[in-house]
Amino acid sequence: MAFQWVLTWHIIFVIAWYAGLFYLPRIFVNLAMVPADSTAERERLLMMGRKLYRFTHILMWPAIILGLVLWLYYGIGLHSPGNGWMHTKVTLVVLLVIYMFWCKRILRQFEQGTNTRSHKWYRWFNEIPTIILFIIIPLVVIKPF
């Protein structure tokens, strides 16, 4: 029964983490489009970005810790043959963590007024978590290798 609870909470935290991963870069798109003379809009978006980053960052850690519990304590994908899917998933999760810290760096650039990228660049940047999700879900469900 404990396994089901750990799995349940892992999924909940991953979904909540991903909500932030989907929305924070959209704030960057909007920030990149704010006219120079629109201080109030810029400040509102920066406040939203800071709050969302903090919320998302907090949710990331239980998702990772519970995932590690599932992997290392319950042995999901650890001792069975054909567990390459888990190693690939862990690599992708590491990339998501790097993406989170990249988002923090971008947020700081917007706060300091040093952003040089266009809203189009952020639209592409916004797709990275989606692409990773489209790889992770089949890995977990199908376990192809």
pLDDT, residue 114, reads 96
Question: Confidence class of residue 99 from pLDDT cuts 50, 70 and 90?
Answer: very high
Which amino acid would we find at residue 100? Answer: M
| Percent of the chain with pLDDT strictly greater than 70 | 98
How would residue 80 be classed by pLDDT, with cut points 50, 70 and 90? low
Residues 135, 139, 145: CA angle, nearest 5 degrees: 125
User: 54 is written with which tokens?
Assistant: 């903090």
What are the distances in angstroms from CA 98 to CA 17, 21, 59, 125? 14, 12, 15, 13
Q: Which of 21, 32, 25 is nearest to 113 (CA)?
A: 32
Does residue 79 register a pLDDT over 70? Answer: no
Question: pTM of the prediction?
Answer: 0.92
What's residue 117's pLDDT? 97
